[in-house]
Amino acid sequence: MTCLRFCLLAALSISLGLAAFAPARAEETIDRPVTIYVAGTAGGGIDLYARLLARHYGRHVSGKPNVTVQVMPGAGGIRAANYLAEQAPRDGTAIATFASGPILEPLIGTRHPGYDMSQFTWLGALTRDIGLCVASATSPFKTIDDVRKQQMVVAGTGAGSETDTWPVVLNDVLGTKFKLVTGYLGSQETILAIERGEAHGRCVFSYSALKIAKPGWLREKKINVLVLTALEPHPDFPGVPAVVQLATRAEDRQLLELMIGPSAMGRPFAAPPGLPAEKTALLRRAFDATVQDPEFRAEAAKLQADLAPTTGEMVQQLVVRIYATPKPVIARAKRLFTP
């Protein structure tokens, strides 16, 4: 055996020996605290679902980080969306959850919020929701036809939020006479406005949020549900029409379907754009495990929180599809929301 060959074999043997004792590549983990940012106020539906997830999520994330919730209200959710897009760390420690308004704002809003939600890293959604256009039972508004006859004052939380976009759309498509009073900080403030008589109602209020934020309103019949912002009627509201049923023109239905699209992924959670693939997979699988966790489901049932989970991959596809809406439909929506 030549010296060169002997030396090469010896080096190979040493390398293999060292490899046998070398530690395996560390599993992808998150061992620092994780914050879920809520695009709303404390006590609102977004906040309540975020806290429900936070109490269980950490034990399913490799590294078992502590998970906390931080409310970040402002501009109907756009403030939190901008934070996630531009400032949040891209290491798996920052997550945000939204209503549907900030998802649509870059497409149909009058501002340029500086983010594109199809680029966010979607982790999953907890439910599939519908919106309720509601009026206080003490008001003169019993059906949506009543709002075609006289002006109804509704409370809103800011441009870009569902509370501010739906009244405009319904006035255009159905000929209703909603008058929007906006600028309330969040859901709890709109609830107080209705209870104090400052507003007749709110259009819309997500069903999942209403059931945990103000369950007595439905149980004690303190509100009238006028119309559902949904593709079809719901068995919990017999006789209440879905808004798409009331549209007579194809172009109206297209607009309504754009607005309804985000409800197919109610209570969604996202990480910033550009999250590494390994971190994305870790967070998505932890989300999937959490929503199947018996303790999580038991607490959700106790809170009367609806669960109809959607995976992060599916939510990502839904958001991409929304952002691919035909340009004429987008143009019409923009005209509606131009001051």
The CA-atom distances, in angstroms, between 119 and each of 6, 95, 224, 290, 313 are: 55, 14, 38, 24, 13
The CA-atom distances, in angstroms, between 257 and each of 207, 231, 241, 266, 316 are: 18, 7, 15, 15, 18
6 has pLDDT over 60: no
Q: Domain 131-261 in CATH: superfamily?
A: Periplasmic binding protein-like II (3.40.190.10)
Class of domain 34-129+264-337: alpha beta
191 has pLDDT over 50: yes
2 has pLDDT over 80: no
156 has pLDDT over 50: yes
Query: Residue 116, class by beta-carbon neighbours within 10 Å (0-12 exposed, 13-18 middle, 19+ buried)?
Result: middle
Instruction: Answer yes or no: same fold for 34-129+264-337 and 131-261.
Output: yes
State the pLDDT confidence band at 17, using cuts at 50, 70 and 90. very low
Give the C-alpha separation, 204 to 240, whole Å: 14
Q: Is the pTM of this model over 0.75?
A: no
Q: Which residue has the higher pLDDT, 136 or 21?
A: 136
Domain ranges of the chain: 34-129+264-337, 131-261
